[in-house]
Amino acid sequence: MESCQFQQIKNFMSSTTIFYILNAVIIFNFLLSRILEYLNQSYSKSELPSELSSFYDAEKYKKSQQYHKESDRLGMWAEVISFIVMISFLWLNGFAWLNNILEPHFTNKIILALIYFGVLSIGSSIISLPFGIYSTYVIEEKYGFNKTTVRTYIMDKIKGILLSIVLGGGLGYLFLWLIISIGPNFWIYAWGLGILITLFLQMFYTSLIVPIFNKLSPLPAGELRDKIETYARSVNFPLTNVMIINGSKRSTKANAYFTGFGKGKKIVLYDTLIEKHSNEELVSILAHEVGHYKKKHIILSMILSWLQMGFMVWLLSRFIFSDTLSAALGVNHLAIHINLIVFSILFEPISLITGILMNILSRKNEYEADEFAVKTSDKPAFVKALINLSVDNLSNLKPHPSYVFFHYSHPTLLQRIGAIEKVEL
pTM of the predicted model as reported, rounded to 2 decimal places? 0.88
In eight-state DSSP terms, residue 207 is: I
Lay out the sheet containing 216-218: strands in order across: 216-218, 242-245, 266-270, 256-259
Res 11: pLDDT:
46
Res 35: pLDDT:
96
CA distance 64 to 266: 33
Answer whether 171's CB lies under 8 Å from 197's CB.
yes
Contacts 24+ apart (CB under 8 A), 200-205: 202/259, 202/260, 202/261, 202/298, 202/302, 203/260, 203/261, 203/264, 204/264, 205/259
Q: Of 140, 289, 378, 392, which is the active-site residue?
A: 289
Residue 156 annotated as catalytic: no
Res 262: pLDDT:
64
Q: Of 37, 366, 370, 378, which is the active-site residue?
A: 370
Answer whether 164's CB lies under 8 Å from 152's CB.
no
Encode the chain (425 residues) as per-residue pLDDT tens digits. 444 544 444 444 688 999 999 999 999 999 999 999 999 988 877 677 777 777 777 788 888 889 999 999 999 999 999 999 999 999 999 999 999 999 999 999 999 999 999 999 999 999 999 999 999 999 999 999 999 999 999 999 999 999 999 999 999 999 999 999 999 999 999 999 999 999 888 888 888 888 999 998 988 888 999 999 899 889 988 877 788 999 899 998 888 887 776 666 778 889 998 988 999 999 999 999 899 989 999 899 999 999 999 999 999 999 999 999 999 999 999 999 999 999 999 999 999 999 999 999 999 999 999 999 999 999 999 999 998 888 888 888 889 999 999 999 999 998 999 999 998 87
Res 161: pLDDT:
92
Residue 289 annotated as catalytic: yes
Res 97: pLDDT:
96
Pairing state of beta strands 266-270 and 256-259? antiparallel
Res 371: pLDDT:
96
CA distance 402 to 117: 34
* Strand, coil or helix: 205: helix
- Calculate ∠ Cα 341-342-345, nearest 5°: 90
Q: How far is CA 401 from the centre of its chain?
A: 20
